[in-house]
Amino acid sequence: MRIEYFQLIDRIVDLNLENRTIRCAATVPTESTIFEGHFPGYPLLPGVLLAETMAQTSGWLIIGLQRFAKMPFLAALKEAKFRTFVTPGQQLDITASLVHEGSGYAITDAKVEIDGKRICDATITFRVIDFPNPQFVTFMKDFAGKIEFPMDAVP
Amino acid sequence: MSSTFDTVAKIIAETCDIPRETIKPESHAIDDLGIDSLDFLDIAFAIDKAFGIKMPLEQWTQEVNEGKATTEQYFVLSNLSARIDELVAAKGV
């Protein structure tokens, strides 16, 4: 996780476009300015960052299904539950599955687990629109390579 | 068996917390009922699911933006219901 850059996914472990599922991995950093305030002497990964982690995981699934033709943007988070605290250094196992692919929007179910224990889950809605400019899609493809996105799965 | 309009009206009432009796076939989803684009995504999902279709919202939006269609053609509920019936019929072909 590079929290300060909002790059919360370290690695795509599995992308299954046929089953419309994805699994990602991320390690919570041991140090971050965020932990200085959230909370002093009792560092916890903020729930909003767990929500964003689920959204980014879902987003890579949708990008894969769209073959980098369109970009998902977070639109709504429903039934989000944060069940357990997450602390620095923990390793997150994030999964998402596509619930529905509509015209211009998509809905996923996502969850985060640590050592097989569910930490949080949510149903997430995205607007799926054209990339606003060519540089954006180039950035996403470059970043995809850094997190081991299986480019051969999206010829 | 409820009509397409009845199903759509029920979805809108439940999704947007709008009194069912105020939702009429001649109501415009945006102009009369005040449904915004985010709420309409929830409605679209519920309609897609209820009827087993994929409403072509991107195509409709493009047609409106290009002046080839009016919002009334797609977002007045009687017209929306007719479009849904067409999509359901096309699915069965």
Q: Which residues contact A22 (CB under 8 A, 6 or more apart)?
A: A12, A14, A15, A16, A57, A58, A60, A61, A64, A95, A96, A97
Q: Tens digits of per-residue pLDDT, B18-47?
A: 999 999 999 999 999 999 989 999 999 999
- The answer to whether A9 touches A26, Cβ cutoff 8 Å, is yes
pLDDT band at B91; cut points 50, 70, 90: confident
Q: ipTM value of the model?
A: 0.89
Q: Cβ contact (<8 Å) for B49 and A100?
A: yes
pLDDT band at B93; cut points 50, 70, 90: low
Q: Cβ contact (<8 Å) for B45 and A102?
A: yes
Q: Cβ contact (<8 Å) for B57 and A103?
A: yes
Report CA-CA distances (Å) from A144 to A60, A82, B34, B69.
8, 27, 39, 39
Q: Tens digits of per-residue pLDDT, B10-26?
A: 999 999 999 999 999 99
Find chain B residues with C-beta within 8 A of A100's C-beta. Answer: 45, 48-49
Tokens for A124? Answer: 């997430």
> For residue B73, which phi and psi values (nearest 5 degrees)?
-65, -25
Q: Which of A21, A29, A38, A73 is catalytic?
A: A38
Distance from CA of B19 to the nearest CA of A (A): 23
pLDDT mean values, one per 10 residues, chain A (155 residues): 94 97 98 94 97 98 97 96 97 98 97 97 97 96 95 86
